Amino acid sequence: MKKIYLHPLPIRIWHWVNALSFLMLIFTGLQIRYRDMMRVMSFETSVDVHNIFGFVLIFNFFIWLLYYVISGKLKIYIPALSPRKFIEGCIRQAIYYGYGIFRGEPNPHHSTPDNKFNPMQQMAYLNIMAMFLPLQLLTGLMMWDIKGFSSWITLAGGIKIVDTVHVLIFLFFSSFLFVHIYLATLGHTATAHIKAMFTGFEEEDEHSH
């Protein structure tokens, strides 16, 4: 059994703060949006909690950005610059998830601190971290202070559009969460990746190489 120090402490803290924030935001978001169907907490409380965790998430996003920019590790999110190489990598990974994994074939991607994500993960997380999450934070911010961001809202096409974007991204995150958690169980044991996110060390089955 081999141990790789894959997740530095700041990233682990960031991840779990993110995880808690996402869960709280999804829950309070549902409570705000489906007030007529669920009444776990009052509207005021759900809005307040949603706002608090929204700001936690914004703060956390900048922690992430700061860490990756300063450490120079941002490149782990950047897919291979050669489209051919990138597409090949994606196909290889897709074949693994859709076929190889069932045959017990090894994961074609081997995570290292400098190359943490497989090409599909790179594509997904780059979209999430560079587009969906900032957009979600921004639309959330706009709705938090409609008057203050009124010119931005007008530019975006109105509060209804802003809300629709916010909801669409929320739906994407909610459904992605299932995939994310499931994929986290696909380590050499079901809890290997999850443990690693606490300890920082990813255990690898040496036989897989």
Partner 1 sequence: MFRFKGGQTVGKGTYWNLSNGEGIDMDGKRPLPGGGSVKYLRLPSGGMFVLGPFLGLLFVCLLPLMSLVIALTLLSRVALASDALSSEEAGKCLSCHSSEGMVKTFKNNENVSIHIAKKHFKDTVHGFLSCTDCHADVSLDSHPSAQYKSIRDFAASISRSCRNCHTDDQILAKPMHNQAVSRANAPPCSDCHGSHSIRKSSELKQNASNSQYCLSCHQKQFSVTINGEKVSLSVNEEVLRQSVHSNHDCTDCHSAFSKEAHPVEKFGSRRELSISISGACKGCHQDKHKQLEGSIHFSMLKEGNLKAPVCTDCHGFHNVGRKAILETVAGVPCKKCHENIFEDYKESVHGVAKMSGKNAAPVCSSCHFAHEVKPALISRSPGETCLGCHKKAVDIHSEWLPNAAIHLEAVACTACHVPNAGMRVYLNATDSASGLTASASKVKELLGAGHTALTGRDGIGDRQMWDIYQALTGKGAGMSIQTTLGLRDSGESHHLASKGKAVRQCDNCHNANSEFFKSVAMTVVDNNGREEFYAVKPQVLSSIFALLPLNQFYVMGGTRVKLLDFLGVFMVIAGASFPAAHIMIRILTRRLRSSSKHTGRH
Pick the binder of partner 1 from 151, 178, 206, 209 (CB under 8 A): 178
191 contributes a contact to partner 1 by CB under 8 A:
no
Which backbone phi and psi does 109 adopt, to 5 degrees?
Answer: -100, 135
Amino acid at 185: T
Closest by CA position to 25, among listed 127, 123, 141:
141
74 contributes a contact to partner 1 by CB under 8 A:
no
205 contributes a contact to partner 1 by CB under 8 A:
no
- Cβ atoms of residues 126 and 78 within 8 Å: yes
Q: For the chain, what is the radius of gyration of the CA atoms?
A: 19
Q: Counting every residue, how long is the chain?
A: 209
Place of tokens 């209804």: 160
Please identify, using beta-carbon distances, which residue of 100 and 134 lies nearer to partner 1: 100
- Cβ atoms of residues 11 and 117 within 8 Å: no
Pick the binder of partner 1 from 179, 189, 191, 198 (CB under 8 A): 179
Please identify, using beta-carbon distances, which residue of 174 and 191 lies nearer to partner 1: 174
163 contributes a contact to partner 1 by CB under 8 A:
yes
Q: Total binding residues for partner 1 by CB under 8 A?
A: 41
146 contributes a contact to partner 1 by CB under 8 A:
yes
Contacts (CB under 8 A) with partner 1, residues 3-62: 32-36, 42-44, 47, 51
Task: Extract the tokens encoding 110.
Answer: 């081997």
Please identify, using beta-carbon distances, which residue of 48 and 69 lies nearer to partner 1: 48
Alpha carbons 178 and 157: distance in angstroms, whole number: 31
181 contributes a contact to partner 1 by CB under 8 A:
yes
Contacts (CB under 8 A) with partner 1, residues 88-107: 97, 101-105
Interaction site with partner 1 (CB under 8 A): 32-36, 42-44, 47, 51, 97, 101-105, 143-147, 157-161, 163-164, 167-168, 171-172, 174-179, 181-182, 207
